[in-house]
Amino acid sequence: MQRNITGEETITPVIKPGHSSNGCCDHDHVEKSTDASVHNHDDHSHGSGSESWRDHWDLLTALAILLVMQVLEYGFRLKFSLLTEFLIYMPAYLLAGYKVLALALRKIKHLDFFNEFVLMSVATLGAFAIGSYSEGVAVMVFYSIGEWFQDSAVSRAKTSIKALLDIRPETVVVIRDMQAFTVKPGSVEPGEVIRVRAGENVGLDGELISASASFNTAALTGESKPDTKHAGDQVLAGMINQNSVAEIRVTALFRDSKLSRILSLVQEASARKSRTQMFISRFAKVYTPIVFALAVSLVTIPFFIAPSYEFSEWLYRGLVFLVISCPCALVVSIPLGYFGGIGLASRNGILFKGGNFLDVMAKVDTVVMDKTGTLTKGVFKVQQVFAEGDRSEQELMRLAAALESHSTHPVALAIVEYAGEDYRSVEVTKVEEISGHGLKGYADGVEILAGNARLMDMFGIFYNKEFHSITETIVLIAIDKQCAGYVTIADEIKEDALQTIHALHRMNIKTVMLSGDKQTVVDQVAGVLNIDKAFGELLPEDKVNKVQELKDQGRKIAFVGDGVNDAPVLAMADAGIAMGGLGSDAAIETADIIIQNDQPSKLVMAIRAGRITRNIVWQNITLALAVKVLVLALGAGGVASLWEAVIADVGVALLAILNAVRIQRLNL
């Protein structure tokens, strides 16, 4: 049985705002963290998703002028002089586009010519220069409406994150000098007691003092079933007290609560780009200057080769080319798709540390799992105690429990619980925990070893080899270099472990189990769960070697462990997944993906989230590129007008955004 030393670790959440300079579209609002100030970026002050219709009176007025003029010209067949059209359309153009023009000018001052604001300004001012006033206004109006909808889509995509933010109460009731005070949660120190009434959110992490209380943990774990806690159990910020008044002794500052760390984790995730996102950003940087060059070539080259060259006609074609070329649909919808995937997963109690890990999970073909705490509950119970020699079973357990009380391993805790309070009178010194083997120390002056057969072999202790045939977990105990007996301990398979393995097999994913436990125990669990391959009696370095063997075979690997003693394997796997990470600082620090409760079935959901996100992102890429190539060709050939160009550009962007937002409403 593998053992570990769990040190108390803390992390400092860093919210990375992320900055995209992707050439054409500076959609920083997609890349930024989900903080309330996300829409304050000056490049997009013209379209915050949180704004109402009244905040866009200028754009709506411009749209109304455009629609009225179209009705008069095409419905009532009224004719206007060019000067009249200019005097009517110019105010509408300025109302719709003054912010875009200002941003374009600011970019040009910084020698940044290849961006969407300059592109749209050049295209629309060019339309005015050749007398296509209505089309110039239409391009600016519909482009600005598209920006508005893009910002609104981003805002909706962050709903699940904002919901988490909203569950942190603004005040808590703290008990000081036998009196209740309502204070800000940030002012409460560890060790103080807070009172939470029925229906209220818990504001800080702590330990339940009341005899018992029932909590809704759905916001943290995605699990709707109420969780009953008893005195001494851990209670986390974000849980909702369901039935009675509960008193909780605070164990962490407000900023250090698990919920605060989870929020920081999800906020950081939006700044970590997937390979697809990075490719699109690089693509846009190269693509935009090329498009400008092609548009200029489309206007100038025909002068030398066309039999009858008319400047206004070819300038119009160049303007159409510029409008349709803007890759906004790609640059906005793709990161929005990944953010949607992160939100979908977090709503189901699965935290991705970045969009890149959604890509990885979509490609996983092998899932490697730890046994204890992943497929089994990790709640051990002593089954039998066998003493050899002169010592009684009670005396053997007293000494063993005194030594095991210095470990946090589940097996050690089981022995301590079984022994009761007798061990507390034993003086234990020089305790050494040997990873993957067990414990060594001195109890009341005698040397004592407690661990697996490898520990006995390491110190040359003779023991009965028939122990290997026992299917349960065994802890051998040696006193003064002699085997003094052993303890059998049993674990229990989790309720949804079998359905998880079956679901993975239906997805054509190979399953492998690695464990430090005895091979007989590992084989028994693997047989019950129908796992493809299972390896037992492994040290941490052996697990690393097994995973490396699979990687050498070209397998895409997700490793699922407890995030503490499996840290080396979590780090080397393509995706390291911590099971039950809600209560573990080390899991939050080490893993790429965190399953907030102990359910193996969440692993299947994580893979589905990755595959759903990948499919929708590639749908958007295919749609945007296909439409743009078609309309670019039609525009260069003089078939498509500015109207078709703007409708195609804005239409494709909106369709792609709506498709990306759809991720949030799917079920895993």
pLDDT digits (tens, 9 = 90+) for 495-546: 999 999 999 999 999 999 998 888 888 998 999 999 999 999 888 788 889 9
For residue 319, pLDDT beyond 50: yes
Q: Which architecture does CATH list for 381-490?
A: 3-Layer(aba) Sandwich (3.40)
Euclidean distance between CA atoms 359 and 368, whole angstroms: 18
Residue 459 CA, distance from chain mean position: 46
Euclidean distance between CA atoms 204 and 215, whole angstroms: 14
Domains 170-256 and 381-490 share a fold: no
Read off the pLDDT of each residue in 621-638 and give the average, rounded to a whole number: 83
For residue 583, pLDDT beyond 60: no
The predicted pLDDT at position 159 comes to: 56
For residue 24, pLDDT beyond 60: no
Euclidean distance between CA atoms 320 and 328, whole angstroms: 16
Other CB atoms within a 10 A radius of the CB of residue 278 amount to: 13
For residue 103, pLDDT beyond 60: yes
Other CB atoms within a 10 A radius of the CB of residue 74 amount to: 10
Residues 507 and 612 sit within 8 Å (Cβ to Cβ): no
For residue 70, pLDDT beyond 60: yes
The predicted pLDDT at position 156 comes to: 60
Q: What percent of the chain has pLDDT over 70?
A: 83
Break the chain into its structural domains and give their ranges: 170-256, 381-490
Euclidean distance between CA atoms 45 and 173, whole angstroms: 39
The predicted pLDDT at position 419 comes to: 87
For residue 462, pLDDT beyond 80: yes
Tokens of 236: 């986390």
Euclidean distance between CA atoms 502 and 603, whole angstroms: 12
Q: Which of 489, 485, 481 is nearest to 398 (CA)?
A: 485
The predicted pLDDT at position 280 comes to: 65
Quote the DSSP letter at residue 72: I
Please enumerate in sequence order all residues whose Cβ is within 8 A of that of 195, keeping only pairs 6 or more positions apart, or say none: 173, 174, 175, 180, 245, 246, 247, 248
Read off the pLDDT of each residue in 31-37 and give the average, rounded to a whole number: 34
Query: Which secondary structure element, helix H or strand E, spans residue 140, and what is its range?
Result: helix 133-157
For residue 555, pLDDT beyond 60: yes
Please enumerate in sequence order all residues whose Cβ is within 8 A of that of 583, keeping only pairs 6 or more positions apart, or say none: 234, 236, 258
At residue 385's C-alpha, the angle toward residues 383 and 386, to 5°, is 140
Euclidean distance between CA atoms 59 and 119, whole angstroms: 19
- Residues for the chain: how many in total? 668
The predicted pLDDT at position 582 comes to: 61
**Residue corresponding to tokens 């490719």:** 279
Confidence of residue 217 (pLDDT cuts 50, 70, 90): confident
For residue 161, pLDDT beyond 70: no
Tokens of 279: 């490719």
Confidence of residue 284 (pLDDT cuts 50, 70, 90): low
Confidence of residue 21 (pLDDT cuts 50, 70, 90): very low
Read off the pLDDT of each residue in 74-78 and give the average, rounded to a whole number: 88
For residue 305, pLDDT beyond 60: yes
Please tell me which of 392-396, 551-555, 564-568, 592-596 the model is most confident about, judged by mean pLDDT.
551-555
Euclidean distance between CA atoms 462 and 55, whole angstroms: 82
Instruction: Tell whether the torsion through CA atoms of 566, 567, 573 and 575 is positive or negative.
Output: positive
Euclidean distance between CA atoms 306 and 424, whole angstroms: 99
| CA max distance for the chain | 115
Confidence of residue 4 (pLDDT cuts 50, 70, 90): very low
Please tell me which of 1-10, 100-109, 283-292, 376-385 the model is most confident about, judged by mean pLDDT.
100-109
For residue 299, pLDDT beyond 70: yes
Higher-pLDDT residue of 259, 550:
550
Please enumerate in sequence order all residues whose Cβ is within 8 A of that of 295, keeping only pairs 6 or more positions apart, or say none: 318, 319, 321, 322, 325
pTM of this structure: 0.68
Tokens of 413: 């805790």
Report, as residue numbers or ranges, the catalytic residues.
370
Residues 609 and 558 sit within 8 Å (Cβ to Cβ): no
Higher-pLDDT residue of 145, 332:
145
170-256: CATH topology is 2.70.150
